[in-house]
Amino acid sequence: MIKVNQKPDSPLDHKTECLILPCPEEKKPDGTLKNIDETLNGAITSAFKSKRFTGKSNQTLLLNSTGSLKADNLLLVGVGKAKDVNTETICKAAATAVKLAEGSNFKSASVYLNDSCFDKIAKGPDYGELAGAVAEGAGLALYHFDEYKSRDKKDDPPNRLQKLTLIPATKTRQATLAKSITRAEKIVDAVHAARDLVSHPGNTATPTYLANHAKKMARKSKITCKVLGKKEMEKLGMGALLGVSRGSNEPPALIVLEYFGAAKSKAPTVIVGKGVTFDTGGISLKPGAGMDEMKMDMSGAAATLGALQGIADLKLKINVVGIVAAAENMPDGLAIKPGDILKSMSGKTIEVLNTDAEGRLVLADALTYAQRYKPKEVIDLATLTGAVLMALGHQAAAVIGTNPAMIKRLKESGDATGERVWELPLWEEFEKAAKSDIADLKNIASPGVGAGSSMGAAFLKAFAGDQPWTHIDIAGTAWGYDKPYIPKGPSGYGVRLLVHYLEQTKH
Q: Where do the structural domains in the chain lie, given as residue ranges?
A: 3-174, 191-503
- Structure confidence at residue 154 (pLDDT): 47
Residues 6+ apart with CB under 8 A from 84: none
- Between strands 341-343 and 349-351, the pairing is antiparallel
- Structure confidence at residue 32 (pLDDT): 87
Residues 6+ apart with CB under 8 A from 175: none
- Structure confidence at residue 157 (pLDDT): 58
- Structure confidence at residue 159 (pLDDT): 81
H/E segment holding residue 495: helix 495-503
Distances (CA, A) of 123 to 91, 117, 137, 169, 176: 18, 12, 21, 19, 19
- Structure confidence at residue 506 (pLDDT): 67
Q: pLDDT tens per residue, the chain (507 residues)? A: 789 999 999 999 999 999 999 999 988 888 888 999 999 999 999 999 999 999 999 999 999 998 999 999 999 999 999 888 899 999 999 999 999 999 999 999 999 997 667 765 544 567 888 899 999 999 999 999 999 988 765 455 568 999 999 999 788 888 889 999 999 999 999 999 999 999 999 999 999 999 999 999 999 998 999 999 999 999 999 999 999 999 999 999 999 999 999 999 999 999 999 999 999 999 999 999 999 999 999 999 999 999 999 999 999 999 999 999 999 999 999 999 999 999 999 999 999 999 999 999 999 999 999 999 999 999 999 999 999 999 999 999 999 999 999 999 999 999 999 999 999 999 999 999 999 999 999 999 988 889 999 999 999 999 999 999 999 999 999 997 789 999 899 999 999 999 999 999 865
- Structure confidence at residue 169 (pLDDT): 79
- Structure confidence at residue 162 (pLDDT): 93
- Structure confidence at residue 123 (pLDDT): 46
Q: Where are the alpha helices (DSSP H) in 76-155?
A: 87-103, 115-118, 127-141
| Nearest of 491, 456, 442, 496 to residue 240 by alpha carbon | 442
Residue 150: exposure state from Cβ atoms within 10 A (0-12, 13-18, ≥19): exposed
- Structure confidence at residue 122 (pLDDT): 40
- Structure confidence at residue 26 (pLDDT): 87
Give pTM, 2 decimals: 0.96
Active site members: 286, 360
Distances (CA, A) of 300 to 191, 325, 384: 12, 10, 9
The superfamily CATH assigns to domain 3-174 is Leucine Aminopeptidase, subunit E, domain 1 (3.40.220.10)
SS3 228: strand
- Structure confidence at residue 362 (pLDDT): 98
- Structure confidence at residue 457 (pLDDT): 98
Query: Which class would CATH give 191-503?
Result: alpha beta
- Structure confidence at residue 332 (pLDDT): 96
